[in-house]
């Protein structure tokens, strides 16, 4: 198949090659996967957003349904210092002897060490955590040998001294205590930012996958193997085994891979990638997304076949009037909890409550498409916002009798157009094609963001802004664009939200 072509599946669903179409579109980075019987389970990083670590189910690797979050209680994901791009980092999800295990790092509570939970059902509930204070760093991995010993591997580091390296130790999973002093294992092929170890027993060898080169354009996957889980490891002679660095591939930054074996004995990998658009150097706005590749074994080493699967293009549209008994799992909160910032109204809709520090309560959902439009209907006061973090966002406020659009770029906040408010106000945000061509004929970014209010007399555009400012290349960090509902000091409620992808 041609990577950039689209196809129809047997049931007439639109699909595209796995080389270019993510299996999870939007801000779902650092995927980790396991299989139990005919069922696959996958989880990703979620950073400062709570509940943390969304978890998905599939029976075919290409169609995925969210079944909840692994970390849905604050005792599991302690609030700590919830700055942007802190919180839940890279993780490992495994099934062992009928129990599902999930281990991760909460950077907002970094000194507690790695966070280990378990469950009999991946949909939950997951246990209270065991903290592994002897393993400070990120990207923990678990595996078991034939005698039942559990090996923890992780990227040892801190935020003052920096990187230390890939360490390993056997652990007691019931207490979190290390059974020996940590020792170094393979440190990669020589590139920087060596992280994300995953260790597997496959045949006679233990295979170790690492991410190297940083999670930007130099990202790649490297491999080594040993006859013992602790090494010494023999590097793959063709490292890196997977990368798109220095290429014109439409998916960049690929890496942070995790392997899984299918029931028929075949192999696959999930990995993260981004879809940059616009002028040089390219701007990605949805965050790091999850992709799928096939794996062949050639001379005892993994070979990535990124074009193997046909991935249905998921319908990402939704409409929510907040009438269901439970909040949909798409909604998450930075630095807070949904139950503390939302109150259902008896006559429908939802009131957003302030945070404990008095700042507006926020309810967020991931943007999953390159082109889209969304409308939020407010009764009274509130805000509809597109954000990367608290320093980079575009939004529209309803305050008393005025609708005001604004932009926040770094430390600068600028008011844009305004219009009279109505009793029930419909605020509209759209991602549209950039109005300028790309360099050298213009400055076109990945898109333009249009802010409008829908009045009885028609749509009033309040602002049109360059989408580059709401990209990772400008704002930095590890997350992606989020559509956000915000409360106000005076009472107001969200009546409904509608989101529709555009071609």
Catalytic positions, please?
30, 195
What is the maximum span of the chain, computed from C-alpha positions, in angstroms? 73
List the one residue out of 458, 379, 457, 461 whose CA is nearest residue 418.
461
CA distances from 37 to 23, 41, 122, 144, 455 (A): 21, 11, 13, 18, 54
Rounded to the nearest 5°, which phi and psi values hold at 428? -130, 130
What is the number of alpha carbons within 13 Å of residue 219 lying toward its C-beta?
A: 20
List the one residue out of 310, 202, 194 whose CA is nearest residue 259.
202
304's tokens: 């990535």
The H or E element spanning position 473 is helix 472-475
Tally of CB atoms within 10 A around 5:
10
Backbone dihedral region for residue 148 (phi beyond 0: left; psi -120 to 50: alpha; all else: beta):
left
Helix segments in 244-359, DSSP class H: 338-341
CA distances from 103 to 88, 198, 347 (A): 10, 12, 42
490's tokens: 């005076």
77's tokens: 């994901």
88's tokens: 């839940």
């Amino acid at each position: 198949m041609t990577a950039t072509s689209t196809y129809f599946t047997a049931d007439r669903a639109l699909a595209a090659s796995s080389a270019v179409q993510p299996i999870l579109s939007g801000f779902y980075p650092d995927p980790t996967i396991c299989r139990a019987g005919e069922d696959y389970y996958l989880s990703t990083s979620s950073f400062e957003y709570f509940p943390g670590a969304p978890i998905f189910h599939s029976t075919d690797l290409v169609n995925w349904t969210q079944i909840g979050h692994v970390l849905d209680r604050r005792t599991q994901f302690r609030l700590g210092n919830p700055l942007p791009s802190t919180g839940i980092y890279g993780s490992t999800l495994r099934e062992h002897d009928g129990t599902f295990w999930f281990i991760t790092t909460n950077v907002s509570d970094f000194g507690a060490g790695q966070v280990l939970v378990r469950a009999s059902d991946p949909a939950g509930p997951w246990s209270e955590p065991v903290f592994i204070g002897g393993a400070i760093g990120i990207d923990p991995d678990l595996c078991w040998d034939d005698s039942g010993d559990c090996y923890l591997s992780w990227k040892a580091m801190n935020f003052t001294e920096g990187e230390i390296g890939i360490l390993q130790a056997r652990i007691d999973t019931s207490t979190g205590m290390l059974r020996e002093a940590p020792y170094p294992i393979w440190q990669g092929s020589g590139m920087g930012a060596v992280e994300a170890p995953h260790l597997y027993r496959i045949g006679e060898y233990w295979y170790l996958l690492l991410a190297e080169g940083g999670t930007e354009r130099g990202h790649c996957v490297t491999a080594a193997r040993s006859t013992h889980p602790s090494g010494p490891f023999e590097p793959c002679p063709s490292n890196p085994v997977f990368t798109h660095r220095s290429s014109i591939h439409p998916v960049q930054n690929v890496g942070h891979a995790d392997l899984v074996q299918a029931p028929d004995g075949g192999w696959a990998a999930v990995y993260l990638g981004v879809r940059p658009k616009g002028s040089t150097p390219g701007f990605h706005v949805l965050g790091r997304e999850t992709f799928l590749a096939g794996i062949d074994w050639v001379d005892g080493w993994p070979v990535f076949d990124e074009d193997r699967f046909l991935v249905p293009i998921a319908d990402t549209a939704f409409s929510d009037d907040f009438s269901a008994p439970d909040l949909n799992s798409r909604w998450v909160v930075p630095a807070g909890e949904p139950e503390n910032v939302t109150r259902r109204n008896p006559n429908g809709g939802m009131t957003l409550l302030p945070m404990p520090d008095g700042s507006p309560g926020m309810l967020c959902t991931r943007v999953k498409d390159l082109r889209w439009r969304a409308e939020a209907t407010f009764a009274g006061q509130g805000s509809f916002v597109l954000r990367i973090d608290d320093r980079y966002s575009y939004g529209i406020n309803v305050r008393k009798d005025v609708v005001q659009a604004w932009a926040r770029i770094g430390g600068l906040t600028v008011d844009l157009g305004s219009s009279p408010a109505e009793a029930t106000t419909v605020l509209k945000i759209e991602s549209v094609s950039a109005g300028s061509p790309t360099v050298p004929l213009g400055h076109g970014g990945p898109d333009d963001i249009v802010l409008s209010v829908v009045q009885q007399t028609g749509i009033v555009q309040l602002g049109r802004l360059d989408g580059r400012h709401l990209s990772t290349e400008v704002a930095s960090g590890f997350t992606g664009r989020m559509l956000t509902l915000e409360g106000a000091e005076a009472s107001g409620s969200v009546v409904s939200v509608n989101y529709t992808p555009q071609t």
